[in-house]
């Protein structure tokens, strides 16, 4: 036995570890000479045994000792990152894995893992860089292509997302998540039939996956196949009876068809399972005919993030939307002579349609929107000097007194009823004699309410009452024009464009 003990070397231990013989590794490590047992390599192997057996504290101790002895030992840093990952410490995981890859080139799987960790920390740009590197190191790394495509889509880069996700499905045709993500990207692009083909493929691979059913039903609804969407959701409800998301989707279909009682029933069922869902609460209020102060930011953000890629095309064709040029024309008419170099903020700027109209008169034009994906579209137009992702009242509250000559809000106040606060903040940020121009949906509610929450989830206003509030808030009404704002499912949506002027200081 003494002779056998003297023959144990680190090479012997490594060979046992490579075979996965962890019990043998522990015994062999105990038999190493003391000087070899205390080396960074031996400590790294011991940490591997502890990590495999989920003894995280022991594994961390071994790896930390290895790094203390050899600060540039890349594998030990990587393994420290794995311990942190298993412990739920994402910052530690990013630090350890990132340091390892700085010290020594990694493989595609390691860059994929680091990208996943960085994304969990919200560091999306860095994550995308790691996934891109993974695809360069291993062009057949389907998971990296899926991650790239998914997050490019989420950022509004739909064309690039489609390329990445189509590549993933070519590499791994049986990867359900790749077909699901491709279907979502195709939905964003308005390619309904292609999207439905992707969802059908994903469903064949994973018949009970709820996300596939929900996205497929959404594509059916958006493409006008409402009954097929409803049937798919009702069928899925028998397999997922506790799903609040199915009830939420059924509520949206019912609300879009004007079936308010049915919609309310679905939303109440959804709210029982999704009590913190602000969108469900808002649309339940709309279905029940109850009002609220404002559409929740999460609801508005999600609505327009989903709509961003096809926003301009649908507004101009299906919805016949012309508010920005009309609002700009009325503003210039109110000015009489263009006042020249203006500082303006376009609230709810969306993809920049209003900005295109304002830019010729502005030396500084700010666009503000809740939707990151709408802002990406606006950025591509290059009309704004500055773009800010924020709620309109939050943004205005952060601005200094007299920051702007003009404030615009084209089809933005349809998600707002807190006009006292809106007018007060706009008056504060405008210079004396500055202009506030906006559009509203209007109603003729005999009940006397200024703001009414409609089944669409949007607010309509009593134009006369709103004008009186504006005058009490320090504005003069320069112009009100009644018009059809847009068409919704073939029905004209009536409203007004309004231009107000902030009174001069007295």
Domain borders along the chain are: 1-105, 306-502
- The whole-number average pLDDT for the span 346-375 is 91
Question: CA–CA separation, 320 vs 492, rounded Å?
Answer: 10
Task: State the pLDDT at residue 376.
Answer: 86
* Residues sharing a CB contact under 8 Å with residue 159, sequence separation 6 or more, in sequence order: none
By residue count, the chain amounts to: 506
| Sequence-separated (6 or more) residues with CB below 8 Å from residue 165 | 145, 146, 149, 150, 153, 178, 181, 182, 185
pTM: 0.73
Mean per-residue pLDDT over the chain, rounded: 88
CB 80 within 8 A of CB 103: no
Q: What is the mean pLDDT of residues 185-208?
A: 93
**Cα–Cα distance for residue pair 47/188, rounded to 1 Å:** 46
Confidence of residue 307 (pLDDT cuts 50, 70, 90): low
Q: What is the CA radius of gyration of the chain?
A: 29
Distance CA 192, CA 218 (A): 10
Between 157 and 250, the more confident residue is 250
From the number of C-beta atoms within 10 Å of its C-beta (0-12, 13-18, 19+), residue 124 rates as: middle
Report d(CA 206, CA 364) in Å as an integer. 52
Q: What is the pLDDT of residue 244?
A: 94
Residue 205 confidence (pLDDT) = 95
Question: Exposed (0-12), middle (13-18) or buried (19+): which is 265, by Cβ within 10 Å?
Answer: middle
Contact status, residue 469 vs residue 439, Cβ threshold 8 Å: no
pLDDT for 426 = 96
Nearest Cα neighbor of 347 from 453, 422, 424 is 422
Which residues are within 8 A (CB) of 18 and not within 5 positions of it... i.e. 6 or more apart? none
Residues 382, 362: contact at Cβ < 8 Å?
A: no
158-171 and 176-188 helices, crossing angle to 10°: 160
Instruction: Give the strand pairing for 342-347 and 430-442.
Output: unpaired
CATH of domain 1-105: 1.25.40.10
Q: What is the dihedral of CA 169, 172, 173, 176, to 10 degrees?
A: -80
pLDDT tens-digit map of 455-473? 778 888 889 999 999 999 9
Span 175-192, average pLDDT: 93
Q: Which residue has the tokens 């007295």?
A: 506
Indicate the pLDDT class of residue 451, thresholds 50, 70 and 90: confident
- In this structure, of 314-328, 432-446, 469-483, 490-504, the range with the lowest mean pLDDT score is 314-328
Q: Is 438 helix (H, G, I), strand (E, B) or coil?
A: strand
For residue 74, pLDDT over 90 is answered with: yes
| The pLDDT of residue 408 is above 50 | yes
CATH 3.40.50.150 is held by the domain 306-502: yes
Query: In this structure, what token pair is assigned to residue 38?
Result: 């205390």
- Nearest to residue 425, comparing CAs of 178, 489, 434? 434
pLDDT for the residue 258: 81
Query: Which residue has better confidence, 222 or 296?
Result: 222
């Amino acid at each position: 036995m003494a002779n056998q003990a003297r023959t144990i070397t680190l090479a012997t231990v490594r060979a046992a570890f490579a075979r996965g013989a962890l019990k043998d590794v522990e015994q062999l490590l105990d038999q190493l000479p003391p000087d070899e047992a205390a080396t960074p390599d031996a400590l790294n192997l011991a940490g591997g045994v502890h990590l495999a057996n989920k003894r995280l504290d022991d594994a961390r101790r071994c790896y930390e000792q290895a790094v203390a002895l050899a600060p540039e030992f890349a594998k030990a840093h990587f393994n420290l990152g794995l311990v942190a990952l298993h412990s739920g410490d994402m910052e530690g995981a990013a630090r350890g894995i990132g340091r390892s890859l700085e010290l020594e080139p990694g493989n595609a799987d390691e860059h994929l893992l680091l990208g996943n960790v960085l994304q969990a920390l919200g560091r999306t740009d860095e994550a995308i860089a790691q996934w891109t590197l993974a695809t360069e190191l291993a062009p057949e790394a389907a998971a990296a292509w899926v991650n790239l495509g998914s997050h490019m889509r989420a950022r509004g880069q739909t064309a690039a997302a489609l390329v990445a996700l189509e590549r993933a499905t070519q590499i791994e045709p049986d990867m359900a998540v790749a077909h699901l993500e491709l279907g979502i990207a195709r939905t964003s692009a308005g390619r309904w039939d292609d999207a439905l083909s992707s969802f059908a493929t994903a469903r064949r691979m994973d018949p009970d996956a709820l996300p596939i059913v929900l996205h497929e039903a959404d594509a059916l609804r958006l493409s006008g196949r409402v009954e097929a969407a409803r049937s798919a959701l009702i069928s899925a409800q028998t397999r997922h009876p506790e799903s609040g998301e199915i009830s939420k989707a059924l509520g949206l279909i019912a609300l879009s068809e004007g079936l308010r009682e049915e919609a309310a029933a679905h939303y109440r069922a959804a709210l029982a399972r999704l009590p913190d869902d602000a969108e469900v609460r808002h649309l339940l209020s709309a279905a029940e005919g109850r009002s609220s102060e404002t559409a929740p930011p999460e609801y508005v953000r999600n609505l327009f993030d989903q709509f961003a890629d096809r926003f301009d095309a649908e507004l101009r064709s299906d919805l016949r939307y012309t508010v920005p040029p009309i609002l700009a024309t009325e503003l210039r008419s109110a000015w009489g002579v263009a006042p020249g170099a203006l500082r303006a903020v376009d609230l709810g700027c969306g993809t920049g349609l209003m900005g295109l109209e304002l830019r010729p008169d502005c030396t500084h034009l700010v666009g503000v929107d809740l939707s990151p994906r709408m802002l990406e579209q606006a950025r591509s137009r290059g009309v704004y000097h500055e773009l800010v992702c924020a709620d309109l009242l939050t943004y205005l509250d952060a601005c200094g007194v007299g920051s702007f000559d003009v404030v615009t809000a084209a089809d933005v106040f349809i998600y707002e009823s807190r006009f006292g606060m809106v007018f007060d903040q706009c008056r504060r940020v405008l210079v004396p004699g500055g202009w506030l121009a906006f559009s509203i949906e209007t109603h003729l509610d005999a009940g006397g309410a200024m703001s009414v929450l409609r089944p669409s989830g949007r607010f309509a206003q009593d134009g006369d009452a709103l004008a009186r509030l504006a005058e009490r808030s320090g504005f003069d009404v320069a112009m009100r024009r009644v018009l059809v704002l847009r068409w919704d499912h073939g029905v004209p949506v009536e409203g007004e464009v309004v231009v107000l002027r902030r009174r001069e200081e007295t």
